[in-house]
Structure 1
């Protein structure tokens, strides 16, 4: 029988009700998909320490506290990322409670883990965010079961409406995505801004959708940090992509928006307010649902960009082609 995030955390609590630490670890886009879950625990827990670590950094610079009182959550889309498999095995050897998320139920990372969640990916745009969504569900269960989370029911309501909202908003965004593709098809760099729980989405967009999949230089900037150095490059027609949250860090995004408009940059905004996030998520939980909605909508922008550039998202120079790197 397939376990749910709630089942898994309940079993871990039965095994050890003195959990003190949580580590999220992975590589590339999978690490970025864990960011909203990390952010939730960091914001909402009053007693748990939490970190997010690149998998090979976890392997070679393991925090000394990792042990039976630690939950380690790993992730790998195909389940074959060597560093993430090693991190999963390493965490288990140290006695941690280890959960992995993967799309492939027969993959090496699944076989290495104690607890497993299998997520979708190909079904539709919403399912491309399922790994991120399941990680957030785990984070909410950890906080709720070990210390209580007063807005737990409101979070579940948001989860219930999330995938339908993403798929609907992707359809509504098709025209804007085509316009984005036409405006940006010849750029060689894009600056990507985001804040709060969506900072991981900004990072994955710049590093993977742009750098890995389109060979466009992508730079990630925290919207709040924009005014502490990076804004010097906000020139006329400089290419920017801004993710605007609905929630507590919106002021940071709005401040960056005003500045970028002031100097007539080549700016595209994907705004969770425009995509009706508040229709499913209450003000108490909305911060944590921005990344999934924005990620889902961003995928149609990436698809259209790949068509305009005649550069499929699956095209690579090195990945899957070189054995030794």
Structure 2
């Protein structure tokens, strides 16, 4: 049965909501200024497992059985690799937005599509259009201008964008569904994350767990809940995104993905008063120009596909 216009609308709404949640994420982490990034990451991984299991059960789905996991060891190994790649990207992101570097996070996700395009050419045999080629060139010019002006690479942005693109490439070869693969990724890292939290607590180095049993009257429950909440806060957009993929086109999702870094940019400049100098303005402008060219190039093809779908729906309905 072809996609109905209602299903497409639902998919677009789910995708927009996912990127809106991602875009608002710095507001949550602003409640944890200067947080211990290692501990925060460990909490996010540990509590991702029960949260994902709850979501899977509520949707009436099931995780792959042990036999299915053994039959597809390659996908399990790729889930492990994906988990490590995502850890690096999320670690950079969490550090940035808890240490007054939301602009770096915005830049990271603006350059992510450029990394994704380059990886598609290198590993998937994709062919670049003129607009995509120009976008990649402009992106490198934007980064190069920053390097020449500041004398150093924008490491945070490159780690975020680069490793998230590698994560997306890795997911292309995993044969489990989206929810299952995300759950497996968290499960593979959970023993390490949980062991790290236990070690922090046992050596009295934990920020969130310090005094949990010995000094319960003065224990900061709000801080603990905020640390635990990083799991659903980072996974909810991913779940809405996974639901959207089956309901709308990848082209539409690609166009809407700029909601997230655009919101990060606006929050950084207008709300968090981060310094936005001429160097950043030129670099962002070069990258934005490249992304705009790609978006404008994709619009005619997107409109044609939508017209074809409408025609299919008309034919389908007339045949009833």
Pick the TM interval, shorter chain. Answer: under 0.3
Q: Which has the higher Rg, Structure 1 or Structure 2?
A: 2
User: Whose helix proportion is higher, 1 or 2?
Assistant: 2
Q: Which structure is higher in RCO with an 8 Å CA cutoff and minimum separation 6?
A: 2
User: Whose strand proportion is higher, 1 or 2?
Assistant: 1
